[in-house]
Amino acid sequence: MKTIQAYRFALDLTPGQERAVRAHVGAARVAHNWALARVKAVMDQRAAERSYGLPDALLTPSLPWSLAGLRKAWNAAKADAAPWWGEVSKEAFNTGLDALARGLKNWADSRQGGRAGRPVGFPRFKSRRRGTPSVRFTTGAIRVEPDRRHVVLPRLGRLKLHESARKLARRIEGGTARIMSATVRRDGGRWHVSFTVEVQRTERQPARPASVVGVDVGIKHLAVLSTGERVDNPRHLVAAQARLRALGRASSRKSGPDRRNGCRPSNRWQRASDRLGRAHARVANLRRDGLHKLTTRLAREHGSIVVEDLNVAGMLRNRRLARHIADAGFAEIRRQLAYKTGWNGGRLLVADRWYPSSKTCSGCGAVKAKLALHEREYDCDACGLVIDRDHNAALNLAALAAEFTTAGSGSVAARGADQKTHTHGQVAVKREPGTASAGKTGTVPTARRGNQSRAH
């Protein structure tokens, strides 16, 4: 099974190497801003000519928005726009032009209704201080050295790694991996190199292929499993909040950049800002490490995993819980489970967003009309079952896997259950793309579930 996988390593750059990397990053920004200014100028000119009543045939020729078109225009003008263009790799300019081509395509697709999700705005000019500096290499000498402590990149040469690249090197030497591109990026106060690799993975099976587990994510507990296991929420952001506040106050007392008068930041402000960035990066790394360990264990042990299709963007509008929801990483758990179940031969099932997992009794199937958030125990009025609210939701999610198997994947539901309550409804369970046997959405009748409600 061939998959696209990333390997990320920290770099230990010398001052000269860091200057070279920053030069490549600046070249990518220059190419992006030049092409964006050219695109905007052509668009404004054509709009002005249309206002004068000129026919389309007489308008200024439009500039192609594809990567090939932007690259052709840049190559024709780079001698004047960037006389120093020969000092850096051509991949640096390609990085900026590719980012602009993607941004223009996303904006056009969003305006024409061909892109799902929130509306995408028109691309903006890149700033030297805002944003994340990065440069991507797709051609040239890209390899891991035999000592597994150094990598070679075009024009940058031999760069030392902070850690061993033995995992990637073993796959390359065994012929089961092929490096497609490398991206150098500054994150959390230090530089990293990320390799996009095509990996030939062996077919695997979970330790218990017939096992089904429902996963109910939350704030008090990061995840409650249908097996009864509760995974504590480490709350890394809450634990680091005091230090983050202190570093933020220390940074505010320094002389920072002022865009109104062009004042540059002081060295003390820069050092304080770096300390604050490293503290935030540590929180992100701790959260990422915990989520990877949890999702890897679930994907390796269970054959079927059932999660909910949560409206995380809507949940973040709750100002009392937004910080805790963001700290938990609900969407990241589902994203990691999606590809890890495919790697391990399992399947990920996603319950419909409107499925009342918390309001439904796992014993008799009765559905409550309302269940307040502060009610942490589910007390069934029909059968008298008293059970933890999150454990009850996890049991209901696990039960959906059996209903999906019974119904099969022949029928496809565009949306599943709706917001209104019905005596006989339907609950949609879909396989996540990328998992084993993925590709269709199954709809199962749920007459025994009773009335459905919108939230839980």
- Catalytic annotation, residues: 216, 308, 390
- Tokens representing residue 111 in the block: 């305006």
Residue that the structure tokens 């809450």 belong to: 238
Closest CA to 107 of 119, 97, 99: 119
Alpha-carbon span 346 to 435, nearest angstrom: 7
Burial class (CB in 10 A: 0-12, 13-18, 19+), 152: middle
What are the backbone angles phi and psi of residue 142, rounded to the nearest 5°? -130, 110
Residue 82 CB coordination number (10 Å): 18
Alpha-carbon span 23 to 15, nearest angstrom: 12
Buried residues in 411-433 as b, exposed as e (16+ CB within 10 A): eebeebbeeeeeeebbbbbbbbe
Alpha-carbon span 226 to 398, nearest angstrom: 7
Residue 107: strand, helix, or coil: helix
Closest CA to 7 of 155, 163, 174, 132: 163
- Tokens representing residue 422 in the block: 């019905």
Buried residues in 244-273 as b, exposed as e (16+ CB within 10 A): eeebeebbeeeebeeeeeeeebeeebeebb
